[in-house]
Structure 1
């Protein structure tokens, strides 16, 4: 018999803000706000997606933007973070690092600074109500100008140690190379924020190398295309750079034709640190616990290997040291407990 995944302590390091919304919450909010949702976000949910071509990525981004449009009131932000933390607690996660580009919400909430402060307060309330630790990753959009990213990095730096724990870079790699954002990440690193850009999802090994060489990445969102260069994987393992691997989204977006082709096992066996993530459950469906179930059922991970995946997620996080110690002890206790008969 196998130990329950939901009782395995873990950290969640790859979850987008709007993408964390529960589907039922999106439908409720849209009804209350009078926002018309396409069928792909109502009866045909989760939507059929593919992002390997420009048209597919545009559709994915359009659905995301429609979902974000329902978040128009401060109470919506509080509800989103409270429910996200509740879902993390149900999955056994003790630490959530949720990533957000405040500029996507700033026009509704009186500017960048007010938006970030609203999100940080909502995170503190969610922490108190659920017991799940929450850190905020401020993430720049690589399809925008690098000066926009610098402005976000300076904002994130002001709140380092006050809830902001990391700095990221997201959106389509094919429309903005990592090296163009070196200045923004330099600002973030000087403020002791972890560097966690996306790379190696829709882009190849070059994208991953630029994250390492130009952005001094502590973690890389996805990073799965590093498998196309075994020497790069060896470097990732040696430098202990955590890859935030999201099996469900990699399969849904066509990064790999089938979910079983995601190189999770290959990367793990090669010694690369891995933190499983759900990416955007609002658009893909499964959340964090299901990613561990996929590791078990699709990739054959044993309970000791699942425990090591959980440890990797905790070690790669920006959680306080005391919380890391507590969660790691919990992983050992989970593994020491005999599985149910």
Structure 2
């Protein structure tokens, strides 16, 4: 058996991580105890929970667990804690740039509105970036299960805080069950984001197939797609993604947890890479899926990606990121340095 380099030291960018879903299980338990919140059994014993997104019932269970966790996050101190802990966890996994996705509507109540909630998150993102050395930018995301007018409000909020560095709003997204709502109805919100110079990063192509990807490309003109993995099911759709330079935020372990793929061997990383797609591996919601960023790279290694191939995946994540050019250059140099190191010795087989 040949040696392999430590994936936790591979410099990389992390572009698909949800705010509440970034929380660690011990933090959730601590916050729940402090607030007297009774958590569902699935968030206590037998973690991570068994999930499915194959039907409405399965998605409802996933959403119920997510909502239970989100109910434990109240006020400025909690928001700051989640940002700080997400940055620390990413830094420990070799991430040099993190784009954390949040809908400030969910946390607005105790702070008096969506603007102060977002300002707290942005302020802590700047502090966490300085403290950890991992740059943290913010993606404001609307929810498909809310009215499209709410998305326009969030797009205007994102535009007000738009920037290109740590502690600024980098992009505008659209999340939640892609089977809900009409993608076309969210086009005005994305037009607001485009005019403000924000990148557009909606979810599509995970729970639904290539037709969802096509509709999203037509209606929202995205720069990246959250997931987009099922574009492989239509050669023309995948070719369009490659031709238009739309990057894919692929989250293999969450795809498996939600039943999109039965096991690691079915996640089409090789097909996407071979087609020329720009891929950024992401953890999605570690709290519910039980896997973090390095776990996604370990899955790629299981599929036969060499250290050179894994370094290419890390480079792809950097190229797809919204990090400032000097930050990208620095991370790419660090990836080359990682690849130049001697692999760890193989573990003896007994």
Q: How does 1:158-307 map to 2 (within 5 A)?
A: 158-161=160-163, 163-297=168-302, 299-307=303-311
Which runs of 5 or more structure 1 residues have no equivalent in the other structure?
Answer: none
Deviations 1:161-188 (A, max 9, x none): 1600010000111112322211100100
Could you tell me how far apart the structure 2 residues matched to 1:207 and 1:286 are? 26
Could you tell me how far apart the structure 2 residues matched to 1:185 and 1:73 are? 29
Partner residue, 2:71: 69
2:44 to 29, 42, 45: 42
Partner residue, 2:133: 131
Q: CA separation of 1:55/1:245 partners in 2, compared to 1, >3 Å: closer, same or farther?
A: same
Instruction: Tell whether 2:83 aligns with 1:97.
Output: no
Which runs of 5 or more structure 2 residues have no equivalent in the other structure?
Answer: 346-350
Aligned pairs, number: 340
Partner residue, 2:314: 310
Query: TM-score normalized by structure 1?
Result: 0.98
How far does residue 211 in structure 1 lie from its aligned partner after superposition? 2.0
Could you tell me how far apart the structure 2 residues matched to 1:261 and 1:327 are? 30
1:147 to 130, 137, 149: 149
Could you tell me how far apart the structure 1 residues matched to 2:316 and 2:272 are? 13
Output the aligned Cα RMSD: 1.0
Q: Deviating runs (4+, > 4 A) in structure 1?
A: none
Q: Give the conservation status (yes or no) of the 8 Å contact 1:195–1:217.
A: yes
Q: Give the conservation status (yes or no) of the 8 Å contact 2:76–2:117.
A: no
How far does residue 64 in structure 1 lie from its aligned partner after superposition? 0.2
Could you tell me how far apart the structure 1 residues matched to 2:213 and 2:110 are? 34
Deviations 1:288-316 (A, max 9, x none): 0111011101x111111111110111111
